[in-house]
Structure 1
Amino acid sequence: MKIKYLLIIYLVIGCLTANSQSILIEAESFTNTGGWVIDQQSMDQMGSPYMMAHGLGIPVENAQTRVEVAKRGKYRVWVRTRNWVAPWNVPGAPGKFQLLFDKTPLKTTFGTTGAEWHWQDGGTVQLNRRKVDIELHDLTGFNGRCDAIVLTKDADFIPPNESDALARFRATHSNLPKKPTLAGEFDLVVVGGGMAGVTSAVSAARLGCKVALIQNRPVLGGNNSSEVRVGLSGLIFQKPYPNLGKLVDEIGPVGYWPLWEAQRDPEAERSKKILEVIENNPEKKIHNAGPKSNYADDKKQQMVEAEENIELFLNTHVFDAESSGGKIISVTGRNIVTGKEVKFKGQFFADCTGDGNLGFLAGADFRMGRESRAETSEPSAPENPDDLVMGTSVQWYAETPGKSSFPECPWAVQFTEETCQYLTRGDWDWETGFYWNQIEDIEYIRDYGLRALFGNWAFLKNESKEKDTYKNYQLKWAAYIGGKRESRRLMGDVILKEQDLREKTAFPDASFTTTWTIDLHYPVALEGFNEEPFLSEAKHVKIEPYAVPYRCLYSRNIENLFMAGRNISVTHVALGTVRVMRTTGMMGEVVGMAASLAKKHGTNPRGVYQNHLNELKSLMQKGVGRNWYK
């Protein structure tokens, strides 16, 4: 840990001394982030990760770093930031913060102007020492954000804001290598560290593949991490391959659905262990938006690190793919803290990003939104195709530490007695962004979820007829990483449809089993509520357990690309059942098996189906997991 810390200090100071006229300080590279968090969700759209003060209305601890300047004297200060509520034309600027130089704040308050990311003028500062301590000082706890800081001795200089010019400016004023370093050559490169990514990597590694697992957050788990806190759903241990799911069970053995399974068969050894754990830890019964420990970030990482054939790369966002002749050669990732770029060469690749990011970069065929009934013949499809998708959840919960206050939030969504939600926990149905692009507009979508949460809570605490009931409650946790359900779906040799599920279409390459209902979410229109929907309703179509064809797990036009997760080859309607995370985890188990066979036989994912299907079936029958309860 100490070595990593010193490395960050070196990178920050090194990039700052490269140009004496203009000094660029990337906020995410501060040596001490304090209470600020790093958000990379929209870095492909706005050019960089950024720091955010996610304090739930309580100012967070200062972020700190030390800058070495080449020359003492007067510097003009620019800060790349925005007023994050300005897109809604509402009063106020909740994300206010100050910039401190050697403990002295500039007169300018930042985060107060501009609906878009831009450089806010901070005036000038006199720097009389070569080494200067800089701090980000949050004033509100309401998600102020800072991308970067520029100090310049050129009084007329304004940093560029247009994306290409800004990228060139960043490259010029950093001290990073001009070319990415090579991480190595791998049999399988897995991009995305959610449940599907973890199981893909571990399955392939246990079967002899050299694997790189790349995740753009500091923790593994995706929606099942402590950052998003969605419980694991879907049944495992199903026919025709009842050993599929053992690996999923190793990673996440205890939660709402295992409790339900344990109660069905209370005499089984696994059931007894689950019931024992829950009896000693009753909070484990909380499925979504539960305590951090329910989501076992450390267990996932320990499990991956225990596999000698896996190299794990956290905090690394893949932004480029090199392809040739319909085949991926390598991918390049950028560390979201240091900015360092790393290249990964591979024989096979697996897109487990959820958003289909790798497939998109490589030119894979994909779909977004809803297909028409005329195209798919699905009973639940709309008459005409459209862009409606299932949304992103910003979950939250409150606890009772004692009497607490919460500020008025005129910039948040405004509620009345008729529209407010009398709750202390926002579950899966706090969902936004149904009509927006879940990739391009994710910052807006997440921010609207925060506005709804803060507005509802402010009304409950300060104005509602039941405010006395809520006086002892305090917001304990809210997600700032959006919990997505749907965006790109990468097209494979088979596109699973609703009628396949309803009519139990038998495919020769039946593999993992989906058991969840066809569970599609739609926005709720509250009477008397004039802003965008922030709640969803679920409409269910019950199905029997159904084994999904393996051909949904690889790209139809990128010959060495697997996929596992919510971005596999299905229609919008069929996505409603396969998207839950025990099911996506089993997808990963199958992908790892297929990758091992592709390596063994010198073929590609399609070739595994065409020539080695019986061997894949044998692996699926055997499974790669171990019993966690023994």
Structure 2
Amino acid sequence: MRNYLTLFLLLFTLQLSAQNHVFVETESFEDKGGWVIDQQSFVVMGSSYLMAHGMGRAVKDASTTIKFTKKGKYHIWVRTKDWAPFPKGPGKFQVSIDGNPLKQVFGESGSDEWKWYDAGEVDIKTETIKLSMKDLTGFNGRCDAILFTDVPKFTPPNKLEELSAFRKKLLNLPDSPVAAGHFDMVIVGGGVAGTCAAVSASRMGLRVALIQDRPVLGGNNSSEIRVHLMGDVDKNYYPKLGRIVREMDNGDPGNGNPDAKEYGDARKTSIVKAEKNISLFLNTYVYKVEKQNDIITAVVGRDIITNKETRFEGSFFADCTGDGTIGYLAGAEFRMGRESKAETGESLAADKADNFTLGTSNLWASLPRDTVTTFPETPWALQFSDEYHIDNTKADWEWETGFGNFNTITDAEKIRDHNLRAIYGNWSYLKNHKSQKYAKQELAWVAYIGGKRESRRIIGDHILNQMDIQEGKQYPDGSVTATWTIDLHFPDAKNSKYFEGQEFFAGTKHIKVAPYTIPYRCLYSKNIQNLFVAGRNISTTHVAFGSTRVMRTCGMMGEVVGFAAYLTTKYKTTPRGVYQDHLPELMSILKGETIEAQP
């Protein structure tokens, strides 16, 4: 396979040198209009794309200028998909050149696979043209890339490795990424856990790189996803923990609040930018890890807008991605899904181990209007009836897809799209069949970025389990005090009755716990020497994860990781070395005792 790919790249490079191709990444459009950048499927696509997320109202055109070194006739290819082919979806759009639309309408092919579509031939008569994409429906049409080629009978590659090489060559990206420099601590993931880890490490004097794959910080607590912070910070055994979480906390606006400002994006960013030791890298998806044996030496990230790559060297790394991406790429031991009772001895564990995970939510909200509003029928969406529909003006946590039917990492786009089909289908039913209540109600906000709950869990030197939690075991390295219930979601029974195998609505049973502490040994990798973890991907069983996963608790994990990274740097040791040789000093820091930070 490797020899085949090498031969392909050689032939491909020779072909490119002799022919004229103009390759356009849609996420790099100069004016994105009302279209949005979606990077959630980078792991399977190797790229971001533009999407027309108008909630049923067509968005403004996206456009850019393209330069040609040679005039003449070009064949056009458009890479897209039909995201809801039941039998044909609603994501229709057109491509225009200098205001003249191509005849083809994209996004209604009946195929949910990403692939290249033949858009015909065009005569390029000027060196510069204006390329535009016009949304026709407002229902999430999407486009990855557009190719102009003068090569007869040429079909662009579609397989990931070949397409990635194709992109890189035609975008003239350098063979080597730009060097960001060397950091004491490289933190990947700018959710609450990662952001708190960065601030904690920075205040201990470490030089920190904080890398986030979206334009805002906060992860599930950002304005893009809008999940409120849960877990207590005022029941800590260690008074110093939770201070940074409190700084990040913008109050409790609830889930899916239609007012974006309630989630404090600007507050989080300002706190990070005020830290002189933090270098913040937004819109950067880390997809590659470099290591020597069991030590990570660098990570490489790609800008989700420009596709330019940056390399970050570090002494220590923290995986705060939620998905355990860095650990996975580095070869860290991890677990995904449920363990069996026989394996863990937990009464709440599954009878048999499986791939079941808690799902992903896309929240939504509507607002009252002064006049009657309309919403179209949605035959491509999930179908509701008088017998079963969800009679609410906004979503809460229960709107959730996953449950083992999808892989929360590789099927992220499918999960989001299934959530959208449920949201739009239910809202269409309410608007068109419950007009007395909903005639003057308008869909105001729908999250297009999924709020994930569970994926990989990186295995550490201790795996927190149900007994640790319910018995309130106090280990010598007990650090973060957690208070949330064991909260394991499952498909709502009524939802399963009407949408068996396609559930999008959850139930739960809260199992109360007394405040307990999470051992520090859960916050680093068992087999990668310099890798910390914080957030929902720490070392727990599936059952224990049901309690540790809430964001205030995750934020305190980040604070602990920042303190521990200070000690690894101070003593030139490893995360495990802190536990073995410097645990009293770590516990002193957590107790709030005075520690002299590094200059």
| Structure 2 length-normalised TM | 0.94
**Which residue number corresponds to residue 273 of structure 1?**
none
Alpha carbons 1:489, 1:570 under 8 Å: kept:
yes
Pair 1:115 & 2:112 matched:
yes
Equivalent residue in structure 1 for 2:534, among 564, 574, 590: 564
Q: Is 2:373 the partner of 1:419? A: no
How far has the Cα of 1:487 moved from its partner? 0.3
For the 8 Å contact 2:256–2:365, the answer to whether it is kept is no
State the match for 1:433 in structure 2: 402
Q: In the alignment, which residue of structure 2 is the partner of 1:28?
A: 27
Change (3 A) 1:361 1:531: closer
Partner of 2:130: 133
Q: 2:568 aligns with which of 580, 587, 598?
A: 598
Amino acid at match of 1:102: D
What's 1:195 paired with? Answer: 192
The answer on 1:182 being equivalent to 2:179 is: yes
Match of 2:343 among 375, 394, 400: 375
Residues 1:102 and 1:19: Cα distance change in structure 2 (over 3 Å): farther
1:432 match: secondary structure? coil
CA deviations 1:231-266 (Å, max 9, x no partner) are: 0000003231022111100011411xxxxxxxxxxx
Structure 2 unpaired stretches of 5+? 1-15, 595-599
- For 2:452, give the aligned amino acid: K
Offset at 1:24?
Answer: 0.5
* Native 8 Å contact 1:349 1:562 kept in 2: yes
Aligned to 1:475: 443
Q: Quote the residue 1:620 is aligned against.
A: 590
Partners in 2 of 1:494 and 1:128 — Cα distance?
66
Contact kept? 1:419, 1:529, Cα under 8 Å: no
The alignment status of 1:254 with 2:246, answered yes or no, reads no
Give, in angstroms, the shift of residue 437 of structure 1: 0.8
Residues 19 and 355 of structure 1, relative CA distance in 2, 3 Å threshold: farther
1:204 aligns with 2:201: yes
State the distance in 2 between where 1:155 and 1:138 align. Answer: 30
Give the aligned partner of residue 580 of structure 2: 610
User: 3-state DSSP class of the match of 2:213?
Assistant: coil
1:529 & 1:339 partners in 2: Cα distance? 39
Match of 2:88 among 92, 101, 104: 92
Instruction: After TM superposition, give the deviation of residue 392 of structure 1 in Å.
Output: 0.3
1:623: how far off? Answer: 8.2
| Superposed counterparts of 1:208-607, under 5 Å | 208-255=205-252, 284=253, 286-401=254-369, 402-435=371-404, 436-462=406-432, 464=433, 466-526=434-494, 527-530=497-500, 532-607=502-577
Residue by residue over 1:535-558, the C-alpha shift from the partner in whole angstroms, topping out at 9 and shown as x without a partner, is 000111100011110000000000
The alpha-carbon deviation at position 47 of structure 1 amounts to 2.2
Closer, same or farther: CA 546–75 of 1 in aligned 2, 3 Å: same
**Distance in 2, Cα, partners of 1:19 & 1:607:** 57
Structure 1's unaligned 5+ residue stretches are 1-16, 256-283, 625-630
Partner of 1:269: none
* Letter aligned with residue 434 of structure 1: F
Q: Which residue of 2 aligns with 1:41?
A: 40
Other-structure match for 2:163: 166
CA-CA distance at 1:336 after TM superposition: 0.5
Task: Give the aligned CA root-mean-square deviation in angstroms.
Answer: 1.5
> Does the CA-based 8 Å contact 1:26-1:147 persist in structure 2?
yes
| Cα offset, 1:20, TM superposition | 5.7
- Following TM superposition, by how much is the alpha carbon of 1:154 offset from its aligned partner in structure 2, in angstroms? 1.9
Residue in 1 aligned with 2:6? none
Tell whether the 8 Å contact from 1:211 to 1:310 is kept in structure 2 after alignment.
yes
Whichever residue aligns with residue 487 of structure 2, its letter is D
**Contact 2:193/2:320 (<8 A) preserved:** yes
Deviation at 1:530? 4.8
Question: Contact between 2:256 and 2:364, CA under 8 Å: does it hold in 1?
Answer: no
> How far apart are residue 288 of structure 1 and its match?
3.9
> Does the aligned pair in 2 maintain the 1:237–1:246 contact within 8 Å?
no
**Greater alpha carbon shift after TM alignment, 571-580 vs 523-532:** 523-532
Equivalent position amino acid for 2:106 in 1: F
Contact kept, 8 Å, 2:19 with 2:151, in 1: the verdict is no
Deviation at residue 573 of structure 1 after TM alignment: 0.4
CA distance in 2, matches of 1:548, 1:208: 25
Q: Using the alignment, how far apart are the partners of 1:531 and 1:614 within structure 2?
A: 51
Corresponding residue SS for 1:431: coil
What CA deviation, in whole Å up to 9, does each residue of 1:345-375 have, x standing for no partner?
Answer: 0000000000000000000000000000000
Letter in 1 for 2:293: G
| 611-620 or 286-295, larger mean C-alpha shift | 286-295
Distance 2:498 2:170 in 1: 52
For 2:593 and 2:294, the matched residues in 1 are separated by 31
Q: Is the 8 A contact 1:238 1:244 kept in 2?
A: no
AA of the residue aligned to 1:445: I
CA distance in 2, matches of 1:610, 1:327: 19
1:45-76 deviation digits (Å, cap 9, x = unpaired): 02210100000000011111000011122211
Distance in 1 (CA, whole Å) between partners of 2:552 and 2:255 is 13
Distance 1:469 1:99 in 2: 39
Q: Give, as a single letter, the amino acid of the residue that structure 2 aligns with 1:601.
A: Y
After TM superposition, which residue ranges in structure 1, 4 or more long, deviate above 3 angstroms?
Answer: 17-20, 286-290, 527-531
Aligned to 1:280: none
Find the aligned partners of 1:66 and 1:40 in 2 and give their Cα distance: 23
Taking the aligned partners of 1:289 and 1:121, their CA distance within structure 2 comes to: 42
Cα displacement string for residues 305-361 of structure 1 (whole angstroms, at most 9, x for unaligned residues)? 110000000000000001112110100000010010110000000000000000000
Are the equivalent residues in 2 in contact too, given 1:67–1:133 (CA < 8 A)?
yes
Identity rate, percent: 52
The change in CA–CA distance for 1:391 and 1:39 in structure 2 (over 3 A counts) is same
1:134-166: CA deviation from partner (whole Å, max 9, x where unpaired) = 111100000000000000112311111011111
1-structure distance, mates of 2:237, 2:83: 50
The alpha carbon displacement at 1:531 in A equals 5.6
Range with greater deviation from structure 2 (536-545 or 236-245): 236-245
Q: Residue 101 of structure 2 aligns with which residue?
A: 105
Give distance in 2, aligned partners of 1:163 and 1:389.
Answer: 27
Q: Which moved more, 1:413-422 or 1:187-196?
A: 413-422
Change (3 A) 1:167 1:612: same
- The offset of 1:427, in angstroms, is 1.0
Distance 2:30 2:593 in 1: 44
